[in-house]
Structure 1
Amino acid sequence: MSWVAGAEDSPYGIHHLPYGVFSTPDDPAPRLGVRIADRVLDLRKVVSGSTCSDCPTCSALASDTLNPFMALGREAWSKVRGNITDALTDSDLAGVISPLLTPIADARMHLPFTPGDYVDFYSSEHHATNLGAMFRPNEPALLPNWKHLPVGYHGRAGTIVPSGTPIVRPRGQLRTGDGRTVFGPSARFDIETEVGFVVGVPSRLGTTVSADAFTEHVFGVVLVNDWSARDIQTWEYRPLGPFLAKSFATSIGTWVTPLDALAAARVPAPAQDPEVLPYLTESDRYAYDLELSVSWNGMEVSRPRFADMYWTPAQQLAHMTVNGASLRTGDFYASGTVSGPGKDQRGSFLEVTWAGAEPVKLPDGSTRTFLEDGDAVTISATAPGPRGTMLGLGEVTGTIAPALD
């Protein structure tokens, strides 16, 4: 148990301890912090009085981004997590540590890491089947390669933004019902409910990373909203897939949950048929039992389960490096839309409204098929923790701003 008030029953209790980058009005310099209940432990202040302030770990914790710390690897991650846990549970240290805690209400959150490359996958069988039925109604919903490899594409790392950043409605080429090509703002503006994974330890160009090395390279998890312009996507996606329909913005949560905090959330991953190739085989095949929630202007419209994903994050990591592509600290990859078999488990509004045929009625009486200017979307998630506890991943939220003229 932690001596911090409110930590015992908090989704940000001692069993969680996510990392973020924050600043305050009286100290606007961004710095690393760890969340405990409704407080942020200022790691720069923690290490400022250390006798080893020049050692790699202390220097990394004094940074304004997680990248230097993530690059140190699993041994350092575990040691620091253990030290922070000790400091927040030893009541004899309360007098020393308490002044280093900032109320979360006073913290301004920033992008927690500096992104390297960004890969977005397409790993939910339910989502892929739904979109295939809509986009290719006269063809098989799943393309022949889908169950043989984790389909993915390169995104734009420069447009990854922290939760709370306004999202400007994108503009692009659109195809009209009468077959004309026009330019204008997207009218079928959508979300994609995803889970993202942040790489800490890099790999060398020309080498591969096995699925079983997942926990040695990946530092932690964030929630993701990969905003999508479906009308732009429909016109541009053949033959090479999405481009401008997704590259304008991807929102991520500002708290990175370490993989160690999700140890109790491991569950068996879905069986795969046909058998995958050897490089995608996992000696311990597991998923994470994350219960996601999607709210549209304050009303919950979906509850997808991440455990239903056909391809695991370990397989995604193995696939994105099997050709010898290197990993860099800060590389980021997302799961693709998380959708389940039920109507209440669909992770995009394209699916929730079935391409606009089944509008959603909001609490104010208005209806929606896709996002309108001023709409706000929040994605949150919970996961089981040790000894019957529950942790909550840092939510990701965004509000739609009008298209630029």
Structure 2
Amino acid sequence: MTWLELPEDSGFGIENLPLGVFLGGGRPGFRHGVRIGDAVLDLFGMTGFPVHRTRTLDAFLVAGPGAWRDLREQVTEWLTDARHRVRVEPHLVPLDEVSLHRPIGVADYVDFYSSRQHAENVGRLFRPGTDPLPPNWRHLPIGYHGRSGTVEVSGTPVVRPCGQLGGPDDGELPPFGPTRKLDFEAEVGFVVGAPSEPGERVPVEAFTEHVFGVCLVDDWSARDLQAWEYVPLGPFLGKSFRTSMSPWIVPLAALEAARVPAPPRGTGLLPYLRDDGAPWGLDLALEVRINGEVVSRPSFRDMYWTPAQQLAHLTVNGASVSAGELFASGTVSGAAPDQWGSLLELTANGTQPLRLADGSTRGFLEDGDTVSLSASAPGPGGTRIGFGEVVGRVEPARP
């Protein structure tokens, strides 16, 4: 029990203790912080360690699980033992007095395609009358290598991208201009801390030795650009203009009560992907809002491929991972229409527009729209673990 007075059901109690990076609160320079309730605990102020006064968490994360565990135990003691109160209180900064920044350097970025429901929905839209899943989908976590330089923290504007909008119509050249099919994708991200060596495989059992924690991701998508360019090599400009991530990284250590087995699979797996002894399914409840109105509530617990399997597949060819690297789940979609995690699904590729409470409709996003994604998970003793939000506002295309 903490000695702080915390808002009821804030999601940021002593069971959570996510890490982030902030500026402000009367303190010079970037600081690492731990969110507790509606306050941020200044880790540099508490420890004096230079590793907590850097622009990203990377220099701390590279130290590995032992350092992560020690910090979590230390912060828990500070916030539960009243003997530390006099020392700690000066380093608690109100959340509304700071600005939150991208918490990691994003050394690399990979996005997967791990929801069977989402993959089948997309397959039915674009390949009606055939098996909605491609032949490889049940055997490996499909993914694409994203552009790390366009991953930004929640609140960064999303400028409508331009590009080739499809094949030539009446003329000889494809039409070019701002995307007409701007979409969101509700996703969950995983932050690598401890690196691996080139040529080294990371087995599913070693997931917690390399991954520090979890965040929320919105992988913005230009569906018309994507549809024209993706054959034969996959997503490129339709994805690389912006990916948004939430500012708080929830430690895996806070999510033990949220762990669930992966759903039953109808086919066998190669040995490197078998996870019977170390399941890392997670019972996360997501919520998507457009202009403040809830349009979907995806559930993460039914994702076919777990993050441990994703990491194992990412490294099975000898590719290494680095501190501050991000990999994401792909769109999270459930079985029911109100659990689908993209407008592509919710509106059947724009053919069945979504009606909002104000009477307006959306096939895809319009300039000025704000999309917010939030999530929570079960914590110990009936508590809830909060993830905060990832928010983006659509701005018009630039000349």
Q: Please say whether Structure 1 and Structure 2 have the same fold, judged by a TM-score greater than 0.5.
A: yes
State the distance in 1 between where 2:397 and 2:8 align: 44
Give 2:141's aligned amino acid: P
Q: Which residue of 1 aligns with 2:269?
A: 276
Q: Which moved more, 1:131-140 or 1:386-395?
A: 131-140
State the distance in 2 between where 1:192 and 1:159 align: 15
Q: Return the match for 2:177 from 184, 190, 200.
A: 184
What does 1:26-41 align with in structure 2 at a 5 Å threshold?
Answer: 26-41=26-41
CA root-mean-square deviation: 1.3
Q: Which residue of 2 aligns with 1:16?
A: 16
Residue pair 2:285, 2:300 contacting (<8 A) in 1 also: yes
Q: Return the match for 1:328 from 322, 329, 342.
A: 322
State the distance in 1 between where 2:2 and 2:265 align: 42
State the distance in 2 between where 1:179 and 1:376 align: 35
| 2:89 is the counterpart of 1:89 | no
Q: Which residue of 1 aligns with 2:55?
A: 64
Q: Which residue of 1 aligns with 2:279?
A: 285
Residue pair 1:32, 1:66 contacting (<8 A) in 2 also: yes
Q: Which residue of 2 aligns with 1:53?
A: none
Q: Which residue of 1 aligns with 2:376?
A: 382
Deviations 1:259-303 (A, max 9, x none): 001111011111122110001011222301000000011110101
What does 1:177-326 align with in structure 2 at a 5 Å threshold?
Answer: 178=169, 181-282=174-275, 283-326=277-320
Q: Which residue of 2 aligns with 1:45?
A: 45
How far residue 4 of structure 1 moved from its aligned partner, in angstroms, is 1.4
Deviations 1:129-164 (A, max 9, x none): 111111223542101000000000100000000000
What SS does the aligned partner of 1:308 have? coil
Residue pair 2:32, 2:44 contacting (<8 A) in 1 also: yes
Q: Structure 1 vs Structure 2: percent identity of aligned residues?
A: 55
The answer for unaligned runs of 5 or more in structure 1 is 49-57
Deviations 1:309-368 (A, max 9, x none): 000000000000000001111111000000011000000011011111221222222111
Deviations 1:32-86 (A, max 9, x none): 00000000000110112xxxxxxxxx34233331101111111111111010000
Q: Which residue of 1 aligns with 2:111?
A: 120
How far residue 91 of structure 1 moved from its aligned partner, in angstroms, is 1.3
How far residue 17 of structure 1 moved from its aligned partner, in angstroms, is 0.5
What SS does the aligned partner of 1:175 have? coil
Q: Which residue of 1 aligns with 2:4?
A: 4
State the distance in 2 between where 1:183 and 1:284 align: 48
How far residue 88 of structure 1 moved from its aligned partner, in angstroms, is 0.5
The answer for unaligned runs of 5 or more in structure 2 is none
| 2:126 is the counterpart of 1:132 | no
Give 2:17's aligned amino acid: L
Give 2:354's aligned amino acid: V
Give 1:39's aligned amino acid: A
Q: Which residue of 2 aligns with 1:105?
A: 96
Q: Which residue of 1 aligns with 2:151?
A: 160
Deviations 1:164-202 (A, max 9, x none): 001000000012694651110000100111000000011
State the distance in 2 between where 1:340 and 1:77 align: 33
Residue pair 1:7, 1:36 contacting (<8 A) in 2 also: no
Give 1:312's aligned amino acid: T
State the distance in 2 between where 1:301 and 1:317 align: 31
State the distance in 2 between where 1:208 and 1:345 align: 34
Q: Which moved more, 1:357-366 or 1:93-102?
A: 357-366
Change (3 A) 1:179 1:193: farther
Residue pair 1:160, 1:250 contacting (<8 A) in 2 also: yes
State the distance in 2 between where 1:317 and 1:298 align: 34
Q: Which residue of 2 aligns with 1:54?
A: none
How far residue 6 of structure 1 moved from its aligned partner, in angstroms, is 1.3
Deviations 1:341-400 (A, max 9, x none): 100000001101111122122222211110000000000001000011011112100000
Q: TM-score, normalised by structure 2?
A: 0.97
State the distance in 2 between where 1:61 and 1:264 align: 28
Q: Which residue of 1 aligns with 2:363?
A: 369
Q: Which residue of 2 aligns with 1:348?
A: 342
Q: Return the match for 2:331 from 331, 334, 337.
A: 337
Residue pair 2:212, 2:251 contacting (<8 A) in 1 also: yes
Could you list the structure 1 runs, at least 4 aligned residues long, displaced by more than 3 angstroms after superposition. 25-28, 176-180
State the distance in 2 between where 1:241 and 1:4 align: 50
Give 1:159's aligned amino acid: T
Give 1:97's aligned amino acid: V
Residue pair 1:192, 1:336 contacting (<8 A) in 2 also: yes
Aligned residues: 396
How far residue 7 of structure 1 moved from its aligned partner, in angstroms, is 5.4
State the distance in 1 between where 2:170 and 2:204 align: 46
Residue pair 2:167, 2:228 contacting (<8 A) in 1 also: no
Give 2:272's aligned amino acid: Y
